[in-house]
Amino acid sequence: MRGLMMDRPLLISSLIDHAAAAFPDQEIVSRTVEGRLHRQTYGQLQRRCKQLANALAALGVEDGDRVGTIAWNVYRHLELYFGISGIGAVCHTLNPRLHPSQLVYIINHAKDRFLFIDLTFIPLLQSVAHELKALEGVVIMTDREHMPETALENVLCYEDLVLSHSDQLEWPEFDERSASSLCYTSGTTGNPKGVLYSHRSTVLHSWAIALPDAADLGLATCLLPVVPMFHVNAWALPYAAAMTGTKLVLPGPALDGESLTTLMSAEEVTVTAGVPTVWLGLLHHWQETGKNVPSLRRVLVGGSAPPRTMIESFEKEFGIEFRHAWGMTEMSPLGTVNVLAPSMRSMADDERFAVKCKQGRPVFGVELKIVDEEDRPLPHDGKTFGEVKVRGPWVCSAYYRERRSASHDEDGWFATGDIATVDGGAMMHITDRKKDLVKSGGEWISSIELENLAASHPDVAHAAVIGVPDAKWSERPLLVVVPKKKRSPTKQEILDYFKGKVADWWIPNDVVFETELPLGGTGKVQKARLRELYAQHGAQQR
């Protein structure tokens, strides 16, 4: 028997319509690429989104067409989020930090008809434009005054385009399972793969991330997402902000500690979100200058695990809650959040910070399990580690235009490639990426645990552990170390440091010193590159 409730679709256009209806005067503040600070309200934003939507329709953009963006966190990017998806087209955000050849692959694979780009990225696009066969036009996200000379063809000026259209529009209604947006993973092996979000997944995920125990969004929140809108939709925070009337502060291209501190202080930001690298920059700036942001109550961190010292600095030095979350592009991205139960607040510092290093509990909407190599569920004892598999309405079911996915099983679970333990209180702790585990004599060694330990050595700035071939054990761990400036630890000092801290057979076979580690487009260490470099290393040691 069916319930007798209205069959209203969950659409992204409803988010911006709601914001304009319920919070017409709430502000969106944006540092622009051109330099100035721009202010608008949700009421004004909605009207601009409708102008943009009419402009897209006039360009011939139709239902399901892909429209690409290469842009910072700026208000025009926000207009594109709602305007493109609102008319049923697909907002395809592109990561400018990827290698140009990857960008070409992605744009051609997605068959983007138009690209909307910030001024910053004109040289990047010029360098590859001749390879983009399906592209019909490029819209530079600026006004007439700032339009540059460019060798690009079929170029339009964003403001000219938008302002030449009416703000009168009733958003179309369609199935909530329709595609809304597209983001490619920057896969370290093979070609990038596209994750195609739907209106339904985006709206449901917005509720999840707005909850008190996730980003905690509402009228009293002032949110600055440092996490880029070109990567997993800035954790979908812009949608959730519109849902809840949260004041949004968009930092534009200036993501250094000083710029962030100035903007956050001026706008009285209460919550911010980003990857550990950004917070490292912010912390250094605060520690060097004695400044901080008095209004800031909470920092959300994800993308990779923050070092414990970072969590301690924010909480103990600055009294700011550091909230650790986990997810991935395939998960929209939210999977788990680490919020302490009231009973944990009274824990001793040492125990509490150990808990805060974990990735947390699943949010409602995400089912999660850990399994062994034969796909059997593993116990939640805080010790046994296995691959994390997830299921839920905002988890991808397949990759865009890929026939097969090795990550999806018959029962509809997605294998994340992350290795974790889960404790009796349901707290998940990621111990490694599956491909980065070192498999020694049939047993797993966690590269991340070894790296964290190495990074806590006083002379070590960065560390990476990879498995290298070994005749006897099949693989053994190799430690790659970037020493701190003016420090030169010896191999033996580093190896001795591990003794008594991990099982003897976990201790790396060798240490090599480098001046830097190879980083990918999203700031993660490229272990595949390290494995290539050191493929022949194993035979030489022990």
Residue 195 sits in the site that holds a copy of itself (CB under 8 A): yes
> Could you say which residues in the range 337-366 bind a copy of itself, by CB under 8 A?
339-342, 361-364
Contact present, 12 and 82 (Cβ < 8 Å)? yes
Q: Quick one: which of 64, 100, 123, 441 contacts a copy of itself (CB under 8 A)?
A: 64
How far is residue 539's CA from residue 383's CA, in Å, rounded to a whole number? 32
Min CB(321)–a copy of itself separation in Å: 12
What is the rounded distance in angstroms from the CA atom of residue 427 to the CA atom of residue 338? 8
Residue choice 83, 96, 327, 392 for contact with a copy of itself (CB under 8 A): 392
Q: How far is CA 192 from CA 55, 99, 270, 335, 399, in A?
A: 30, 11, 35, 21, 10
Q: Are 188 and 520 in contact (CB under 8 A)?
A: yes
Residue 6: other Cβ atoms inside 10 A: 4
Pick between residue 154 and residue 384 the one whose CB is nearest to a copy of itself: 384
Interface pick for a copy of itself out of 151, 354, 426, 535 (rule CB under 8 A): 426
How many residues bind to a copy of itself according to rule CB under 8 A?
76
Active-site position among 79, 176, 267, 330: 330
Neighbours of 331 (CB within 10 A): 23
Residue 348: what are its φ and ψ, rounded to 5°? -65, 150
CB of 245 to a copy of itself, least distance (A): 7
Q: Which is nearer to a copy of itself, 8 or 499 (CB)?
A: 8
Residue with tokens 């034969």: 374
Least distance (Å) between residue 481 CB and a copy of itself: 38
Q: Is 147 left (phi over 0), alpha (psi -120 to 50) or beta?
A: beta
Q: Is 149 a catalytic residue?
A: no
The nearer residue to a copy of itself, 424 or 442, going by C-beta atoms, is: 424
Instruction: Answer whether 420's CB lies under 8 Å from 359's CB.
Output: yes
Is 389 part of the annotated catalytic residue set? no
Q: Specify the residue, 73 or 221, whose C-beta has the smaller distance to a copy of itself.
A: 221
Contact pick of 26, 40, 95, 142 for a copy of itself (by CB under 8 A): 26
- Give, as ranges, the residues between 206 and 235 that touch a copy of itself (CB under 8 A): 207-208, 210-213, 216-221
Question: Among 444, 449, 491, 514, which one carries the catalytic annotation?
Answer: 444
Which residues ranging from 235 to 254 are in contact with a copy of itself (CB under 8 A)? Answer: 243-245
State both tokens at 368.
């999660």
Quick check: 198 binds a copy of itself (CB under 8 A)? yes
Annotation says 439 is catalytic: yes
User: Which of 35, 39, 60, 63 is close enough to bind a copy of itself by CB under 8 A?
Assistant: 63
Taking CB under 8 A as the rule, does residue 102 contact a copy of itself? Answer: no
Q: Which residue in the list 142, 185, 261, 329 is annotated as catalytic?
A: 185
**Nearest to 230, CA basis, from 113, 334, 78:** 78
Report the C-alpha gap between 413 and 40 in whole angstroms.
Answer: 42
15 forms part of the interface with a copy of itself (CB under 8 A): yes
Of 81, 116, 184, 399, the one binding a copy of itself by CB under 8 A: 399
Active-site residue, from 369, 435, 439, 491: 439
**Those residues with Cβ within 8 angstroms of residue 256's Cβ, 6 or more apart along the chain or in another chain:** 281, 285
1 touches a copy of itself by CB under 8 A: yes
Backbone angles phi, psi at 419, to 5 degrees: -105, 130
Q: How far is the CB of 387 from a copy of itself (least distance, A)?
A: 17
Does residue 134 touch a copy of itself according to CB under 8 A?
no
Residue 330 appears among annotated catalytic residues: yes
- CA–CA dist 333, 197 (Å, integer): 11
Q: Report d(CA 234, CA 272) in Å as an integer.
A: 11
Of 488, 438, 483, 434, nearest to 463 by C-alpha is: 483
Site for a copy of itself in 294-323 (CB under 8 A): none
For residue 117, the cross-strand partners are 70, 140
The Cα angle at residue 203 between residues 20 and 246, in degrees rounded to 5? 45
Interface with a copy of itself includes 7 (CB under 8 A)?
yes
Q: Quote the tokens at residue 321.
A: 């809650």
Nearer to a copy of itself by C-beta: 392 or 508?
392
Q: Which stretch binds a copy of itself (CB under 8 A): 76-84, 152-160, 195-203, 224-232?
A: 195-203
* Residues that are catalytic: 185, 330, 439, 444
